[in-house]
């Protein structure tokens, strides 16, 4: 995958994580709120099942974004062993 693909996957993972986690927190604090405008009403287990599904979606988004971030760093050379990422020739005049 190219660098742009990793960046896109990282961004999508972060957005999914942010939206799903916010919905889970709002669902835990406000018992009267409807989760995601009724999009997840098909999930069995009533409100608890929906919150578990949204928590799992947030976790998957976080893992996907983190994986893409790590792969992007490895492919650009910044994460390889022996490359400290510092300035070369520092301390020399």
* pLDDT per 10-residue tile (average), the chain, 93 residues: 88 94 92 84 90 95 93 70 56 57
In this prediction, residue 32 carries a pLDDT of 85
In this prediction, residue 56 carries a pLDDT of 96
In this prediction, residue 25 carries a pLDDT of 93
User: The pTM is what?
Assistant: 0.73
In this prediction, residue 77 carries a pLDDT of 65
Sequence-ordered list of residues with C-beta below 8 angstroms from that of 6, at least 6 positions apart, any chain:
68, 69, 71, 72, 75
Round to whole Å and give the CA distance between 20 and 23.
5
Round to whole Å and give the CA distance between 62 and 42.
24
In this prediction, residue 59 carries a pLDDT of 96
């Amino acid at each position: 995958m190219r660098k742009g693909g990793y960046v896109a996957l990282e961004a999508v993972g972060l957005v999914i994580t942010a939206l799903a986690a916010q919905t889970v927190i709002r669902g835990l604090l406000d018992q009267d709120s409807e989760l995601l405008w009724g999009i997840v009403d098909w999930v069995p287990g009533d409100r608890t099942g929906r919150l578990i599904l949204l928590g799992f979606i947030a976790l998957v988004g976080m893992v996907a974004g983190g994986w893409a971030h790590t792969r992007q760093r490895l492919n650009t050379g910044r994460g390889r062993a022996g490359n400290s990422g510092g300035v070369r020739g520092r301390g020399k005049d």
